[in-house]
Chains A and B, each alone.
Chain A
């Protein structure tokens, strides 16, 4: 049995981008939010350090300086008009969050306090600048709570613990989505005039990851299977300071507040790699520096595969009041007392710069000429605007979700108000039903957890901080083997009630798709830029590669790549030094 619902606007995902879009859309049209989690469980809540805007509350600052840093930090793959717009709108976006009650830390005169963050500088790189607005080290938690509170106030309609499995299109227009209700095992068809995907990232394809178990690329994979390209998938951010072995994020705010990195010999090695900003260099550079230190035998710990994060010299009140959560992570998960001991860290898979290609209104666009797909939108980590280019600056993800969540929500509502509801395709739930039946009907075969674990292990080895042609080709072969095994996956749980085993198997399929796209794009891009570092092509190649990649899944399963130009602006690409 399939249940059918009809809305003007359907938002998939209830993290920061989805909730911000919902606030905007629900004021205007009939809106539903479909989320596989209760909204407050979304991964936005784990963002720690801050959200940047050039308020100039603590130090002189301008949106233009912020835009420059964003473009340079992104190694010039950023679409400059989009970054300029984001940094301009940042200021009002922060005030809006404050007006909705977000409890920012305050300056002595009662204004929003700001602190330093990696890659954010005064006057085009002179020195670090205090730009990140924050609420202790739980800024993402407070943003998620505040946005959810506003949704409660507006009585937004949520379908919680519903997994979106398919996008419905009729004659090139969006007609809705199909979702699986976890509580009952029913499929639901949501008819809608506009659909916005805000499903977050896919960092669970790597063994060491800061990402939640649920970050499996559902949105990108669902639209990819329907012929929508994925942009710049080769650019995946590896955050330098993950809890050793576990990958739990230790915020860059630790270094923003004065923490430093030491190699196994006790040397503050970032002084060699980034003489001006040192430990506050952008994440890609710090992660590569750590890799280099470890490779050259200066790693820390018994296996020499970590480095140290040192905060012992910080005033006690800074640690307890501005960094309480990360301090607790070290205590709980490493049994380390950061006020007196060093904290072992290693780079951790953190953030997808790439994703579903959109314009600045959240409209999903196809091809090099950016033809919009009527009614289809995306925002947040699952989207690629592109404001992060080849490497996102810390704090800009929280900014991205509020700025482009708002713009996407507004635009999708206006579109839905002006357009008719398209008819449904025939047997709308057919594709989703087939996917589930395959998994449910086999009584023996492969174990999804084994495949996922192999995927994570190999992606960590071959497609992480440092990549090579040989390694990526090997990964491509491994992926094809994993896919063969995936076709034989079966689940033990054949029930209809809270069948999370079934949904985990579906999520693994989504992850495999995202990994396919990532590896194909990484293999093609024979240069190094931002987070994509090819040891066999260590230099940036603007002549050939100052362009975005678009990966398409073809009917026969193969991947076709095309490219589109980067939208340049005032900032001429130059060598990236800090």
Chain B
């Protein structure tokens, strides 16, 4: 183990002034797809806003600036602002992203922002999340184990724990599900996020509900709708290998259980 750096010189070398300090302002144009039936009926429209921002700010900060100082009617969901709560999924330059994980400097000078696709738009970037959460709820997203509980923890080896680690990262932001062309065309499809959450339990050595979940996912609304386009994997802000998880579930249905 190395201790602290040898000299102040080394520290200063490692310090990158650009990274540690505020920088100048830059001009960003936001092109936002708007929808507000109270103002303009059922047609959506585009608005453009040009603002001065710090290039290291998040796209979310830029959207806030628009909302707070230009157009208070702009509606978007957000909360934690650092990629964990999953509120601010939106389509940024055609790709599903969390607005709080996109930095302004990466989208200069102009960025296009739209609501995520495949869910009914309610106002601007607000979409109806209920169909998405219905898909999540349909796969029995909770540990199923009818054996009596031990006095202490159930044992699980680090290897067994690792088996489903990737899919425990899901924050239910819907970036994956609403990037899926199959889901756009058929909202009966449970979608990638629901399968990811099923995966999280199916491969948990403590869970006994795999048969029930695999049965649900073998139905026509389930995994075999997936056409392996990898949009979901590309869209996941948590870096989950979504397509791989879906393939694993497919394989379990085909080769292990039935």
**A contact set with B: CB distance below 8 Å:** 37-38, 40-43, 45-46, 55, 94-95, 98-101, 103-112, 135-136, 138, 141-142, 145, 149-150, 152-153, 183, 212-214, 244-246, 248, 258, 260, 262, 264-268, 300-303, 306, 308, 310, 312-313, 325, 329, 332-336, 341-342, 344, 447-449, 491-493, 495-501
Q: Which 7 A-B pairs have the closest CB atoms?
A: A101-B143, A449-B68, A492-B72, A110-B155, A301-B20, A266-B11, A149-B142
Give the residues in chain B near A112, CB-CB below 8 Å. 153
CB closest residue in chain A, given B6: A266
Q: How far is the CA of A208 from the CA of B70 in the complex (A)?
A: 24
Residues of B within 8 A of A248 (CB): 81-82
Question: Most chain-A CB neighbours within 10 Å: which of B101, B156, B164?
Answer: B156
Q: Judging by beta carbons under 8 Å apart, are A332 and B103 in contact? A: yes
Given contacts A262-B11, A332-B101, A497-B36, contact A150 B158 (CB under 8 A): no
Contacts of A495 in B (CB 8 A): 36, 38-39, 73
24 sampled A-B residue pairs with Cβ under 8 A:
A38-B133, A40-B86, A46-B82, A95-B149, A99-B149, A105-B158, A106-B156, A108-B158, A110-B155, A110-B157, A141-B84, A142-B168, A153-B142, A212-B80, A213-B80, A301-B17, A301-B21, A313-B3, A329-B83, A335-B19, A336-B16, A344-B19, A497-B36, A501-B72
Contacting residues, chain A, for B87 (C-beta < 8 A): 37-38, 41
Query: Which of A41, A55, A106 sits near B79, CB closer than 8 Å?
Result: A41
Specify which chain A residues have a CB less than 8 angstroms from the CB of B84 in the assembled complex.
45-46, 138, 141, 325
Is there a chain A Cβ closer than 8 Å to B211's Cβ? no
A95 with B153: in contact, given A333-B82, A495-B73 (CB under 8 Å)?
yes
Chain B residues with Cβ under 8 A from A246's Cβ? 82
Q: Which residues of B contact A (CB under 8 A)?
A: 1-8, 10-11, 14-17, 19-22, 36-39, 56, 58, 67-69, 71-73, 75-87, 101, 103, 122-124, 126, 129, 133, 137, 141-143, 149, 151-158, 161, 164-165, 168-169, 171-172, 201, 204, 206-207
Give chain B residues whose Cβ lies under 8 Å from the Cβ of A308.
11, 14-15
B142 touches A260 (CB 8 A): no
Given contacts A152-B141, A214-B79, A492-B71, 13 further A-B contacts (CB under 8 A): A98-B153, A99-B143, A100-B142, A108-B158, A213-B79, A262-B5, A301-B21, A308-B15, A333-B82, A334-B19, A342-B15, A448-B68, A498-B123
Which one of B7, B22, B81 has the greatest number of beta carbons of chain A within 10 Å? B81
Interface centre among B38, B67, B85, B151 (most CB of A within 10 A): B85
Given A103-B165, A109-B155, A491-B72, are A40 and B80 neighbors across the interface (CB < 8 Å)? no
**How far is A315 from B72 in the complex, measured between Cα atoms in Å?**
48
Given contacts A103-B164, A265-B8, contact A493 B73 (CB under 8 A): yes
What's the least CB distance linking A140 to chain B, in Å? Answer: 8
Shortest C-beta distance, B41 to chain A (Å), equals 13
Cβ contacts under 8 Å, A499 to chain B: 75
Chain A contacts of B71 at CB under 8 A? 492
Nearest Cβ on chain A to B195's Cβ, whole angstroms: 16
Chain B: CB-nearest residue to A98: B153
Question: In the bound complex, what is the Cα–Cα distance between A196 and B54 (angstroms)?
Answer: 41
CA of A158 to CA of B31, assembled, Å: 35
Q: Contact between A266 and B7 (Cβ–Cβ < 8 Å)?
A: yes
- Contact (Cβ within 8 A) B79 A37: yes
Chain A contacts of B5 at CB under 8 A?
Answer: 262, 266, 310
Query: Which of B56, B122, B172 makes the CB contact (< 8 A) with A498?
Result: B122
Q: How far is the CA of A158 from the CA of B153 in the complex (A)?
A: 30
B157 / chain A contacts, CB cutoff of 8 Å:
106, 110
Contact between B155 and A266 (Cβ–Cβ < 8 Å)?
no
Contact B143 A106 (CB under 8 A): no
Q: A45-B85, A265-B11, A313-B3 are in contact. Are A302 and B21 (CB under 8 A)?
A: yes
Say yes or no: B142 contacts A141, CB within 8 Å.
no
Residues from chain A with Cβ under 8 Å of B137 in the complex: 152
Residue of B nearest to A57 (CB): B153
A405 CB to nearest B CB, Å: 18
Q: Which residue of chain B has its CB nearest to the CB of A142?
A: B168
* Interface contact B152-A95, CB-CB below 8 Å: yes
Say whether, besides A265-B11, A268-B4, A342-B15, A212 and B69 are in contact (CB < 8 Å). no
What is the minimal beta-carbon distance from A237 to any residue of chain B, in angstroms?
18
Which residues of B lie under 8 Å from residue A329 when comparing CB positions? Answer: 82-83
Q: Given A109-B155, A498-B122, A310–B141 Cβ distance below 8 Å?
A: no
CB proximity of A190 to chain B, nearest CB, Å? 21
A244 close to B20 (CB less than 8 A): yes
Whether the Cβ atoms of B83 and A332 lie closer than 8 Å is yes
> Which residues of B are found within 8 Å of A302, using beta-carbon distances?
17, 20-21
